[in-house]
């Protein structure tokens, strides 16, 4: 995992833990992160409960919310 990817993941987690709601446009503007869904996937694999709400219409996108600030145990 590259340092930039770790940095994006950490920045996204900190923003979600503060209560921010994120979408791709916000992640690009704040951190120049073009792969928000991939970073969200990594955080979910680490045990964070993140809800995604899909917005449809002319512009389709998802918004991400953190449900619990601490990771939960991930069972496989």
**Domains, the chain, with CATH or none:** 3-66 (1.10.10)
Q: Rounded to an integer, what distance in angstroms lies between the CA atom of residue 59 and that of residue 8?
A: 24
pTM over 0.85: no
- On whether the CB atoms of residues 69 and 17 are closer than 8 A, the answer is yes
Give the tens place of pLDDT for each residue, 51-70.
999 988 888 889 999 998 78
Give the tens place of pLDDT for each residue, 18-53.
999 999 999 999 999 999 999 999 999 999 999 999
6: pLDDT strictly greater than 80: no
Contacts 24+ apart (CB under 8 A), 4-10: 5/39, 7/31, 8/33, 8/35, 8/39, 9/39, 9/42, 9/43
């Amino acid at each position: 995992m590259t340092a930039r990817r770790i940095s994006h993941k950490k920045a996204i987690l900190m923003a979600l833990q503060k209560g921010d709601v994120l979408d791709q446009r916000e992640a690009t503007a704040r951190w120049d992160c073009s792969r928000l869904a991939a970073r969200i996937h990594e955080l979910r694999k680490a045990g964070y409960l993140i809800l995604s709400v899909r917005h449809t219409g002319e512009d389709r996108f998802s918004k991400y919310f953190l449900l619990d600030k601490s990771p939960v145990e991930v069972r496989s």
